[in-house]
Chain A
Amino acid sequence: MEKFLVSKGPYLRSADENKRTTSKIMLDVCIALLPVILLTIYKNVIKVFISGTYTSVYQALYPLLLIIIGPIFSILLELLCLFIIHKEEINNFKDLINIEKTEFGGLPGLFFVLTCPPYTPLWIVLIGIAVGEVVGKMLFGGFGQNIFNPALVGRAFIAFTFSNYLGASYLSPLEASIDAYAGATPLTFYSKLDIANITYDNMVSPYGGLLNFFLGMTPGALGETSALAILIGGIYLAIKRVIDYRIPLVYIGVVFITTFFIGLKVDGGIWYPTYMILSGGLFFGAFFMATEPVTSPKTPLARVIFAAFLGVLTVLFRIIGNMPEGVATAIVTMNIFGLAINQYVIKLRISGKLEKRFIPGMVVMIVLFITLFTYTIVFALN
């Protein structure tokens, strides 16, 4: 009599019941990106078409082209890497596709493009994806093994290497025709201002009020401008339990509180922290990048600490470091410390000391924050 299959238990898996599989989680991420993509197409393509300010159709469709090319190039690159890595096991193209099915190669490319300015030169985009995909992901062993968020590795790379090219690629033809947009994006504009000139009239009025920031009708990276669209996608992910709501909540919260105190010295308005959380890549980073399961800590407390540090780092990078892409740099930096935080927390958790040390830990955190607040405020004023 033929033997029965002896597979490894347990023999009931929620993944088999098709409740929550990794593919489904990745699909949910794509669904959550839909509002972001739709809005950016509306803002960067449709609106430009309607206004008629474009010089060629290629120019008008360029942002859309990037969104399509990003994931495709990323997948192609990954197929190449996988072919090199798994040379012995691969007999035909189908094998390769089967391996790729579990790697979700399109997502880093898509995420990367969404953090890029809409008119980034194509060669820079390709270099960025190549760095992110190969250095950030495949060199670590592929999906699930990477320490850094691949998209942000690429993004940080091009931000530091090609910053001259990027500065000019933010404005759509329509936006370029508006005189009031003195700087490329609200944040690059901000970084050029003296403290004395940081006022509502200088910072927010040119862009037509804070509501425009919320809706995403300000110049900025493809997927990063609209807090509303990101919020819709992010809440969907949080409800589906793909991401932990704690990370965006704490991250944005810390940035808001920190900049609120800084704002007291600057101008005193509530507009300042609001402006700070709505501009740049903070919302996109907080909801989609910092929460990426592979590279973020796995336990709730570790996530809270991780997100709080992200907030502080972002503010430091933005206000004192005057760095481009404060959010991307902060997240890539914290990816490393996140590992250490996670290791510490899981050991506390296993031994049952987590609950005991939770409150002292929080106190230490708050003290740390206050120190950083003061530090930030003092230096921001110089």
Chain B
Amino acid sequence: MRIRKVPETHIEGFKELSIQGETYEYLSPKYVYLPMQFPSPLKELKSVGDKVLMGEAVLQREGRFAIPVLSPVSGTIKGVVKRWHQSNKMMNMLEIENDYKDTVIDDFKNLNPDKMDRHELVELMKTSGMVGMGGAGFPTYAKYETDKPVDQVIINFAECEPYITSDYTMVKLNPGLFIYGLKYLMKAAGTSKGVIAIKNKDINKPIIESLNKHLLDGMSIYLLHDVYPAGWEKYIVEKVTGKTYKMLPIEAGAIVSNATTCVTFAKLLKYGLPPSEKYVTFVGDSLKSNGNVLCKFGTNVTELLNLFGGLEENTDRSHTNFIAGGVMTGGAMFTEDFVTSATLGAVIVLRDKLYDRVTPHCLGCGTCALHCPVHLSPYEIKRAMKTGNIEMVKELEVNKCIQCGLCSYVCPSRIDLTTSIQMAKELVRRMG
């Protein structure tokens, strides 16, 4: 298959904001909450009142990519409560009360990764409920459990969303663990080649240097351009392997994992710590201070927010976006009272700049089409949606959209193209 040139757009990173800020650890929350309906209804393995250990499976995702959800703390299941999820929906969650003992389940104690073979490592990924921590939350084992030949493991360390420095902080503080994790990810994939794809920009220079010192045989660093969407899996695979694919990277002989996932795997193998914690970036012009915090999955964001001093005093909530995730692909929340998860990388609080501004109609400049990484014509899709021409929307292949948000970002008239296209995509999907 021929590789198509992906339009590359530089976006201001704003990464210094959180890098210069404090780095906290908040590993002993009183309660953690595990969503019972996301992404689909989950099967309950434990019931209310049961004692659970850290790393014990409490919920089970069923279906094709079945995977357990582990308890991030040890304690007691107190009940089922309604809490806000990061998708801005209220849903049932298991409330687990922490006993502050962090007693880890025996399964993960004294692992000896050197003696484990490929299949045991993949099985471990499955039993430890490891999911990709970049944002999609795809079960990790499903990528590594393959009969196709694997040429290389690629670590996606692009972190191309502006503001977020979650992966950055994780790797900067644990370069040794990162390499250790990659070593066994390579083993789990049955390959001797590992590539770390990182953006070539000034703030990454110290990390690249320190990683260079730690690199083992078969590992290399690939420098990506400082563009958006450099963290798009397909973009990275095409850049690194020179091959492209239709559905999954494995078609190009590659497995792509996120940098935090890699460190999490290392922590599991080396310290027997099940996947239960990750850095969340807190940043924005409405926050007292910026920085990163290492927290358990399921921690209430309000508690974390207090570490950073909370919101600015004069914050006008009706003109402020409280964003769960990145500014490009994340979504605004009604309230700060929601819980973190394995896929939440950042909490960004920004004043909305639009509310007092008049926005013109589409100018027809075609900028959105020129920047679209999958070569769509967003303005045409929006126009077809407006006139109710579903056939046209289908012809314009709206299903190819990767929802990167670039069309809205570049639009000089500030039109919400991404939202329209998401709606069009949803509509076409539902109609089959």
Contact = CB atoms under 8 A, between A and B. Distances in A.
Contacts of B412: 14-15, 20-22, 24-25
Interface string B330-345: 1111111000000000
A161 interface: no
Interface stretch (A3-11, A63-71, A82-90, A318-326): A3-11
Contacts of B331: 6, 9
B321 A4 contact: yes
Interface in A281-329: 293-300
> Which of A1, A5, A295, A300: most chain B Cβ within 10 A?
A5
Contact of A5 (B328, B352, B367): B352
Contact of A102 (B327, B358, B365): B358
Interface in A79-111: 98, 101-104
Contacts of A17: 12
Interface residues of A, number: 47
Interface in A133-180: 142-145
Nearest to A297: B366
Contacts of B360: 22-23, 101-104, 143-144
A346 B377 contact: yes
A13 interface: yes
A9 B328 contact: yes
A98 B358 contact: yes
A5 B333 CA distance: 8
A12 interface: yes
> Which of A1, A14, A296, A351: most chain B Cβ within 10 A?
A14
Interface residues of B, number: 62
A349 interface: yes
A352 interface: yes
A10 B377 contact: no
Contacts of A296: 364
Contacts of A15: 411-414
B363 interface: yes
A15 B352 CA distance: 13
Interface in A114-146: 142-145
A5 B315 CA distance: 12
Contact of B375 (A21, A142, A298, A352): A352
A232 B368 CA distance: 27
Interface string B361-379: 1111111011000111101
A4 B358 CA distance: 21
A9 B377 contact: no
Contacts of A22: 360, 363, 412-413
Interface in B367-408: 367, 369-370, 374-377, 379-380, 395-397, 400, 405, 408
B47 interface: no
Nearest to A4: B322
B350 A11 contact: yes
B287 interface: no
Nearest to B330: A9
A142 B354 contact: no
B348 interface: yes
A381 to B, nearest CB: 41
Interface of B: 2, 4, 11-12, 88, 162, 317-323, 327-336, 348, 350, 352-355, 358-367, 369-370, 374-377, 379-380, 395-397, 400, 405, 408-414, 416, 418-419
